[in-house]
Amino acid sequence: MKVPVISIVGPTASGKSFVAHTLALRIMNDLKIPSEIISCDSVQVYKYFDIGTDKVPLSQRKEVTYHLIDILEPNEGRFSAGQFRKSFDEIVEGINSRGSVAIMVGGTGLYYKSVRVGFAEAPEANNEIRNELTRLAKEKGTGFLYDILKKVDEIYASKISKNDLKRIIRALEVFRLTGKQFSEIHSFSVPSRHKIYSFLMLPERRLLYERIDERVDKMIEKGLIDEVKWIIQNYGTEIYPLQSIGYKEMVEFLRGSISLTQAIELIKRNTKNFAKRQITLFRHTPIDEVVYLNEISERTLVEVVEKIFEKVCEFLNC
C-alpha cells in the first residue's frame, strides 16, 4: 500500500525544522489527524549530539512524536543510507497503521535520495572473489553456485535463472563482501513504494549564510565546547559522529591545534560549503515544490506552513 508522506528538506539553517513541527501541530489541531515526524539527519541519530546538530528539544518531542532521533550510542558507527531507507519504510508503515500523517524533515541528501530515487549500497567488484567463483563454476558447473546462492539468499535465487552465471556470481560476491543478502541490498535500489510529496526550502544565498553565522554563534553560547568535551571524555575522539561539521573543529580546538576563533570561523565556512553541496544534491533529486525564501523569520515561516498546509489537504484528500 502506498502511504502518503510529506517531505520538507533543504540546507542547514533554512527553517525546515520549525516548518515541519508547526505543520504537524496544524494538522493535528485543524484536521484532528495525529502527525509523526521522521528525522532525515545523519547526526541527530546519535545520543548526546544535541547542540551541534540543533536537535529538536525534548519539549517539542513531547508535542509531536519524532523518529530516528537519539537511536544510537555515539560509538555505534555510521548510520548508512541503506539503514535509513529500511527504517523509513518500516516507520512509515507503523505511522499509517496508527492512522497518523507522516512528515519527513531534514537535510541529509543521501537519506532523502535513498527514499525518492533508491540507493543500493552494493560494494565495488572484487576480482579475486569473482575469479574464484568463476573457477568453481567451470569445475563444478553453474548449478553448483546456484545451489550455494539458494542457501544464502533464497529470495534472489528465486528471481533469476539457475543458468544466469553473471548474476549468481554478483550475488555471492556481495554476500561474501558484506554478509548481506543481495535481495536486501537490491530492494533499496528503487524508490520507496510510498507516495512522497516534497518541499525544498531554499533561502537566498546571502540570507542563508547570515543564518548560518548566527546559528554557529548561538551554538557556542549554548555550550557546544562543553558538549564536545563530555563526548570525548566518555567516548574518545575516534567515533564516527565527531567527524561531522561543528564537532571535528571543536575537537581540533580542544587538542590545542587551533584557537577558538579559528574553530568558529572554520565551522562557519565548512557549514556554508556543506549548505552549497546540500542544495546541489537536492536540485538533482526529485522535488515537487521549491519554497523560495527572501526572509527567514517566524512570520514568514508561518506563512510557508500555511501554503504547505493547503497542499497537504489536497495531497491527503481532506
Place of cell 557546544: 224
Q: What is the mean pLDDT of the chain?
A: 93
**Are 91 and 38 within 8 A, CB to CB?**
yes
Segment 14-40 shows an average pLDDT of: 96
Segment 255-272 shows an average pLDDT of: 98
User: How confident is the model at residue 189, as a pLDDT?
Assistant: 64
pLDDT digits (tens, 9 = 90+) for 265-314: 999 999 999 999 999 999 999 999 999 999 999 999 999 999 999 988 88
The reply to whether 175 and 287 lie within a common domain is: no
Query: Rounded distance, CA 237 to CA 229, Å?
Result: 10
pLDDT digits (tens, 9 = 90+) for 98-152: 999 999 999 999 999 999 988 666 677 788 998 899 899 989 999 999 999 999 9
The reply to whether 71 and 203 lie within a common domain is: yes
- CB-hemisphere CA count at 13 Å for 280? 6
CATH number of the domain at 158, please: 1.10.20.140
The reply to whether 88 and 211 lie within a common domain is: yes
How many domains does the chain divide into?
A: 2
pLDDT digits (tens, 9 = 90+) for 165-218: 888 998 899 889 888 888 777 666 677 889 999 999 999 999 999 999 999 999
- Quick one: which of 81, 75, 72, 83 has its CA closest to 45? 72
Q: Which domain range does residue 276 map to?
A: 4-119+190-316
The reply to whether 223 and 299 lie within a common domain is: yes
User: How confident is the model at residue 243, as a pLDDT?
Assistant: 93
The reply to whether 97 and 194 lie within a common domain is: yes
142, 171, 186 — which closes off a domain? 186
**Are 92 and 64 within 8 A, CB to CB?**
no
**Are 228 and 264 within 8 A, CB to CB?**
no
Residue predicted with more confidence, 234 or 177: 234
User: How confident is the model at residue 314, as a pLDDT?
Assistant: 85
User: How confident is the model at residue 216, as a pLDDT?
Assistant: 98
The reply to whether 59 and 170 lie within a common domain is: no
The reply to whether 60 and 208 lie within a common domain is: yes
**Are 169 and 175 within 8 A, CB to CB?**
no
* Report field, pTM of the whole predicted structure over 0.85: no
DSSP letter assigned to residue 47: T
Query: Rounded distance, CA 245 to CA 316, Å?
Result: 37
The reply to whether 203 and 244 lie within a common domain is: yes
The reply to whether 35 and 94 lie within a common domain is: yes
The reply to whether 177 and 108 lie within a common domain is: no
**Are 107 and 9 within 8 A, CB to CB?**
yes
CATH number of the domain at 196, please: 3.40.50.300
Query: Rounded distance, CA 186 to CA 82, Å?
Result: 10
The reply to whether 134 and 44 lie within a common domain is: no
**Are 78 and 241 within 8 A, CB to CB?**
no
